[in-house]
Chains A and B, each alone.
Chain A
Amino acid sequence: MNSSLIDYIQHLADNALIMAQRNAEWCGHGPVLEQDIAITNISLDLLGQSRNFYQYAAQLINESEKSDEATEDSLAYLRTERAFKNCFLAEQPNGDWAQTVLRQFFFSAYQFLLYKKLQDNTDEQIAAIAAKALKEVTYHLRWSSEWVIRLGDGTEESHQRMLTAIDELWQYTGELFMPAAYELESGFDVSSLKDDWFNKVVAVFEEATLPVPEKCFMQTGGKTGIHTEHLGFILAEMQYLQRTYPNAEW
Chain B
Amino acid sequence: MVTSSNIETKKIWTILEQVTDPEIPVLTIADLGIVRDVKINGDEVEIIITPTYTGCPAMDMIAMNIKLALLENGYSNIKISSVLAPAWTTDWMTEDGKRKLKEYGIAPPQSESGPRKWRGPESFHVQCPQCNSSNTRCISEFGSTACKSLYQCNDCKEPFDYFKCH
Contact = CB atoms under 8 A, between A and B. Distances in A.
A172 B137 CA distance: 36
A186 B156 CA distance: 55
Nearest to B143: A37
A145 B119 contact: yes
A45 B150 CA distance: 18
Nearest to A41: B142
Contact of A142 (B55, B116, B146): B116
Contact of B150 (A34, A124, A145): A34
A105 to B, nearest CB: 11
A37 B142 contact: yes
B118 interface: yes
A132 B85 CA distance: 8
Contacts of A47: 55
Interface residues of B, number: 27
Contact of B54 (A37, A45, A138, A143): A45
Contacts of B139: 34
A52 B53 CA distance: 12
A151 interface: no
Nearest to A134: B115
By secondary structure, the B interface counts as loop
Contact of A143 (B51, B53, B88, B142): B142
B124 to A, nearest CB: 15
Contacts of B53: 45, 48, 136
B142 A138 contact: no
Interface residues of A, number: 33
Contacts of A138: 115-118
A201 interface: no
B23 interface: no
B141 A135 contact: no
Interface string B80-122: 0001111110000000000000000000000000011111000
Nearest to B88: A132
Interface in B123-166: 139-144, 146, 150, 164, 166
Given A49-B55, A132-B54, A145-B119, A38 B142 contact: yes
B119 A142 contact: yes
A76 interface: no
Interface of B: 51, 53-57, 83-88, 115-119, 139-144, 146, 150, 164, 166
10 contacts: A34-B139, A41-B143, A42-B142, A44-B57, A44-B146, A45-B53, A45-B55, A47-B55, A134-B115, A135-B87
Interface of A: 34-35, 37-38, 41-42, 44-49, 51-52, 112, 124-125, 127-129, 131-136, 138-139, 141-143, 145, 204
